[in-house]
Amino acid sequence: MASVIAVCRSEQKGTKKVDIKKGTLKEGFGLEGDAHADSGWHRQVSLLAVESIQKMRELGYDVKPGDFAENITCQGLELPFLPIGTRLNVGKDAVLEISQIGKECHSGCDIFKQTGKCIMPKEGVFARVIKSGEITAGDDIQIQSKK
């Protein structure tokens, strides 16, 4: 079963995020208190699998959840293979809808400066918050539907 490993946020864009252990996903907005939360776009929340972070560790990089600026670090989901429109139940109430797979990485981000490479362009995903809810490290993530 898939689960939340970390809930991360930052006050500024382009920086690593800090694991806050729990947070509130707000419908149509994103993770409360995060610099990337915005009702005006489709990348309200970002997700990255801990398995992807482990790949970087195996290459010798000292990285942890939040270092790739992801809001939710999860385990047990092959994120890049989930179709756009897939809905995920996160925790008790929250629902996310996958809106984008990967992104163009800008060379000015902290992780790119540290490692010279970033896994978010190929292995990270972005989502809209369809239904609000509290999320906490350890919460289950279930695929509700695939489009």
Kind and range of the H or E run holding 112: helix 110-115
> pTM for the whole thing?
0.90
Q: What is the DSSP string of 95-111?
A: EEEEEEE--PPPTTSHH
- pLDDT of 68 reads 87
Question: What pLDDT was estimated at residue 142?
Answer: 97
Q: Which domains does the chain have, with CATH numbers?
A: 2-145 (2.40.33.20)
From CA 38, how far away is CA 147, in angstroms rounded? 24
Kindly give the confidence (pLDDT) of every residue in the chain, 147 residues in length, as a single tens digit, with 9 standing for 90 and above: 899 999 999 998 878 899 999 999 999 999 999 998 988 889 999 999 999 999 889 988 889 999 988 999 999 999 999 999 999 999 999 999 999 998 766 555 666 666 666 677 688 999 999 999 999 999 999 999 765
**3-class state of residue 84 by DSSP:** coil
